[in-house]
Structure 1
Amino acid sequence: MGPSNFVFDVSESTFDVDVVNRSYETPILVDFWAPWCGPCRSLGPVLEKLATESDGGFFLAKVNVDENPNLSVRFGVQGIPAVKAFRNGQVINGFVGAIPEPRVREFLQKVAPNETDHTLAEANSLLATRHWADAEEKLRVIIEAQPRNAAAALGMVRALVAQGKGREALEIIEVFPSGPEIVAAEQLRALAEILAEVAEDSDHRTEHDLHLAQYWQSARLLAGGRYAAGMDGLMEGLRRDKKFRGGEPRKVMLGVFALLGDDDPLTREYRSELASVLF
């Protein structure tokens, strides 16, 4: 379904039918905006993307305040962009300003919770505790229903990389949905690439290249979840040749940090060690 199925314009004459009455069946977000408003142009596409992504979990009604000033007065809109959530005929929550997408998602989970949000929250909890296979199972359910769900796609990339499934992770990265999550997904690309390489190529390529053999062995350790041992091997290789394969081991290390998270003790330890080698 296209965005028009879930996003529509409303006016003073259609508001009660299209928003108030309809909100008894499905949560409605109302975006008060104007063509001259810069922050509106930032927030609007985010809201439209999430409405489409929700696949009917909520609808987005757009109100041009220049053309519908009485609606602004009726609902106390004093600054734009302003978003108000309607359910059962009433305003239940709202916010003002072009807040970032993660905060919009948090807002939606409060005003328009759905089964997808619940499943995604469960998957993220499993990712946080490194139950990668269980997280993958839940994320597949979401992606099957919502292929453009960027948050689920990022979680899937993490789950796949953590299990050594580099090729499948790369396939998702290559067609990653638009959204801020793409930055985090790209941080995992180098790690996914080396995992795919060692899984698909035979060992004969390393027979006469000890450095490459060590690099691949480090990747195999990472694929098996032995992060400290794998990063020890990468660090040893970097000490020998910082420019090996165009500095690829450094990018792989950064991918491991992204996978484990900034607060992980291994990330803190090896990030400091990496900096000491590179600089």
Structure 2
Amino acid sequence: MNIQGHAALVTGAASGLGEATARELARLGAKVAVLDVNMALAEKVAADIGAQFGNGCAVACQCDITNTESVSAAIAKATAAHGTARVLMNVAGIGSAKRIVQKDGSAAPLEDFVRVVNVNLIGAYNVSRLFAAACAHLDRLEDGERGVLMFTASVAAFDGQVGQQAYSASKGWLVGMTLPMARDLAQHGIRVCTVAPGLFATPLMQQLPEAVQASLAASIPFPQRLGKPQEFAELAAHIVSNGHLNGEVIRLDGALRMAPR
């Protein structure tokens, strides 16, 4: 699919990998909806994209991906501004690290596990089902394609570390959902892929001490540095433009395999 001129939804687009993806899609000519629970940051990113690539090419939409009413309202706002989206980038997510048996001998809180799964898995599915239902009514493009959606998993889906049960499970479920959803949506001409990033220089990562960042970077075989958000964004954009990519999970990690801890 040629990205130029099409409407795109990007969740978690107010910072980090989501922001980089929204900016890259706009650079390539897409009309981008910046979906994020933090409206102030979303408005800032949308305004900056508009100033850089043209007024009207970005709109900020407050969106709690776990809440159907919130997602529906965000999609309605984006549709009013840009038309029905053909591209969905699911980038929003949260992390967690809780050992099953805590230091005091108590069991890990169930609420923490539920919260992570609710955002990372159920939230992504929630946005995807609403996007797909609308996209399925659009006219077909070349090869009969109507649209494409992407999930953001993690290398933790395969190499989860100590304490990452909730995070790894939520990302592993996204990996497991990729092929059946691609098969499900094939009849509607909607492709589905997932990117599983490794260690990236996101704002959250950059809050860690420099020595810790350097140690993490040293664990990556090559290139021995943290991934750049732009590299993630470029892969996300390539998934949109490469019409034969479907039902695939792509690791983007510099050959990293995470140690147990």
TM-score band by shorter chain is under 0.3
- Greater strand proportion: 2
- Greater helix proportion: 1
Q: Highest CA radius of gyration, 1 or 2?
A: 1
Q: TM-score, normalised by structure 2?
A: 0.26
**RCO comparison, higher one (Cα < 8 Å, 6+):** 2
